[in-house]
Amino acid sequence: MSNLLDLLVAGLATGAIYAIVAVGFTLLWQTSQTINFAQGEFVMLPAFLMLAVMHVGAPFWLAIILGILLSLLLLGLGFKLLLVDPMLRHGVLPLAIATMALAIGIKEAVKQFFSAEASPFPSIVPVGDVSVLGRVVSLQSLGVLALAIAAVIGLTALLNRTSIGHQMQATAQNPTVARIIGVPVERMILLTFLINAFLVALASLLITPIYLAKFSSGEVLGQAAFIAAIVGGFNQVRGAIAGGLLIGVVDNLAAAYVSTQYRAAVPLILLIVIILFRPQGLLGRPEERTV
Amino acid sequence: MTWSGKHLRIALGVAVVAALIIVPMNFNRYGLYILSQWAVMTIAAMGLNLTLGYAGQVSLAQGAFVGIGAYAAAIMTTQGLPLVAALAVAVALCFAIGWILGYPALRVQHHYLAFVTLAFSTLAFLVFRNEDWLTKGIYGISNIPRPNVMGFATNRPLPFYYFCLGSLGIVSLAMWWLIRSPWGRAFVALRENPVRALSLGIDTRRYTLMAFAIGSALGGVAGTLYAPLTQYIDPVPFNLSLSLDLLMMVIVGGSGFFFGPFLGAAIAVLLPEWLRFTQGYYLMLYAVAVMLLLIYSPTGILGVLNRYLTERRTKAASALRAVAKSRLETAP
């Protein structure tokens, strides 16, 4: 077990990115019953938006800012107004199918307008190795881990410490009651969409330097985030965080110790076992069946 | 439904079937391939429509069952066994796996169920890709023979298209009978209100498992046609996106409508071909078309039609009422 520390750090780093994506996913589900099957593509797109801005000669930092703003506009506001709002009254399933179509649309648009080839993407944390406890660990993994943890802490602080966060939680738990006690429910739902857009842009910024920018990279990411969200608890933000970290670590350890061919199977088997024995997820609340 | 309406329907049905038989006669090889693909995908979508549209259980594993059927057909027919034997194996295997996969449906619902079946779909893909001794892994299985049907070879595209169309016909008749049988009504009762169905004495456990198993078996049937159609299979076509495509076909066509899968498969298979003149943009346009359709009508194309017909019927009825009323009022 010479490289267990390496594997753990790398696993936590990817896991933290999954956690960010999964948190956005659960927020959308909680406030507006949206199962976003395009979440993986939502992570893929901002990297390409940033690359596009850099293509016209802008520096990296400006590309990041514009990329995040475009993401808020397209994946937050646009997604809510153009797709979710008109579809919401039709129920969960048609909306889920519509987001599948959206995933195809985003993927094809990127393939058509940018490139079908994988493009390199600059890293926002320095590349290199650093010595921790006498072992050499990738600086990139540590940097990604640190930024992702900072984002998660910031988000939980927003949700638990601020009055906006409390209003958002009230909206998530029971929109009708929240409306009665004076919470601007519509504004809170819009805010969750914007937060999701910001989180996917951040995840994009962190993960693309590791796996390159490719139009098809959203499939794997989206699936990892779904699994993380379900394993941790579909209706709990902290569940999604725990699930993300768990899936990241399990995935990396499985690749090293089980088999590289079936590494993708290990989190799935974990998922099936958890759904069968604890369908609400490790940290989730059970959702009542309606008659 | 009035008599004239029923006659109209039968005439329309006969015309469509005749067109499906006669029109493709002068199609080229590619056109026949696409139409055969439509027939095969319709069978798979019909199976999913039973599980989703009639029994109300979301499944993201239908593509995996098509894969199991295709691999059964590919492995057995390249060993010299007849396709009928492969069909029997595929149906039995998919029925059994579908039955087992139905068990989570007894415990969890909706999105959880979607994710269990999604996980199964990915696992099946990994098995297709990694078990080289059985599936030849990423190299795939080539030279899959096409069957002889009652002494007729179906090697050429047109006879094979008729073979697919005939299979679709047989499956359609069986499905038509099934959804009108007490079983079919039990499935619908299950979808509409599981608790009430239970209180009416329907064994909901058995019918849930049955809906999954029969739907999955039809996926297997589609697979045994898919392998000889393409004559070469590798794991790629049977990844998760096939399951998602099939789900989209059912919803877009109109889930819970008998003819929904026919239309849905036509749109998913044929529309991208018609949009091919737009070159790289065709899948994008397809995606936008699906989203617009779902925004306009979440119950799919047949949902729109159904709504239109119901509206017209209500309007006609209220017009008749108005006439009757005015006659009453003007009566001396």
Number of structural domains chain B divides into: 1
Determine the residue among A30, A41, A231, A275 to mutate to test chain B binding: the one whose Cβ has the most chain B Cβ atoms within 10 Å. A275
Residue A1 has pLDDT above 50, yes or no: no
Interface contact B292, partner A, CB < 8 A: no
Task: Tell whether B289 is covered by a domain.
Answer: no
Interface contact B170, partner A, CB < 8 A: no
Interface contact A230, partner B, CB < 8 A: yes
Rg of chain B (C-alpha set): 22
Residues 13-52 of B with CB under 8 A from A: none
Closest partner residue to A279 among B107, B118, B294, by Cβ?
A: B107
Least confident of A134-148, A210-224, B75-89, B284-298: A134-148
Cβ-contact B46, B225 below 8 angstroms: no
Interface contact A258, partner B, CB < 8 A: no
Contact (CB<8Å) B109/A289:
yes
State ipTM. Answer: 0.83
Q: What is the rounded average pLDDT of the residues A15-28?
A: 91
Q: What range defines the domain where residue B196 resides?
A: 29-239
Q: How far is B295 from chain A (nearest CA, A)?
A: 6
The enclosing domain of A229 has a CATH number of 1.10.3470
Task: Tell whether A85 is covered by a domain.
Answer: yes
pTM comes to 0.83
Q: What are phi and psi of B154, to 5 degrees?
A: -110, 30
In chain A, which residues have their Cβ closer than 8 Å to the Cβ of B130?
Answer: 261-262
Task: Tell whether A285 is covered by a domain.
Answer: no
In chain B, which residues have their Cβ closer than 8 Å to the Cβ of A219?
Answer: 240-241
> Which of the pair, A82 or B308, is modelled with greater confidence?
A82
Q: What range defines the domain where residue A8 resides?
A: 4-126+135-277
Q: What is the mean pLDDT of chain B?
A: 87
Query: Which SS3 state, helix, strand or coil, does residue B7 take?
Result: helix
What angle (nearest 5°) sits at the alpha carbon of residue B159, between those of residues B157 and B165? Answer: 100
Among all residues of chain B, which has the CA nearest to that of A289?
B109
Task: Tell whether A282 is covered by a domain.
Answer: no
The per-residue pLDDT for range B74-125, each reduced to its tens digit, is 999 999 899 999 999 999 999 999 999 888 777 766 667 777 888 888 889 9
Residue with tokens 């790289």: B280
Q: How far is A143 from chain B (nearest CA, A)?
A: 31
Q: Tell me how many residue pairs between chain A and chain B have CB atoms under 8 A apart.
A: 114
Task: Tell whether A9 is covered by a domain.
Answer: yes
Task: Tell whether B44 is covered by a domain.
Answer: yes
Task: Tell whether B90 is covered by a domain.
Answer: yes
In this prediction, residue A290 carries a pLDDT of: 42
Render the burial of A151-189: b for 16+ CB within 10 Å, e for the rest: bbeebeeebeeeeebebbbbbbeebeebeeeebebeebb
In chain A, which residues have their Cβ closer than 8 Å to the Cβ of B63?
Answer: none
In chain A, which residues have their Cβ closer than 8 Å to the Cβ of B193?
Answer: 291
Closest partner residue to B115 among A86, A219, A275, by Cβ?
A: A275
The per-residue pLDDT for range A98-147, each reduced to its tens digit, is 998 899 899 989 998 888 888 888 888 777 777 766 677 778 888 888 88
Closest CA to B44 of B246, B232, B227: B246
Interface contact A108, partner B, CB < 8 A: yes
Q: How far is B116 from chain A (nearest CA, A)?
A: 6
Task: Tell whether B305 is covered by a domain.
Answer: no
Number of structural domains chain A divides into: 1
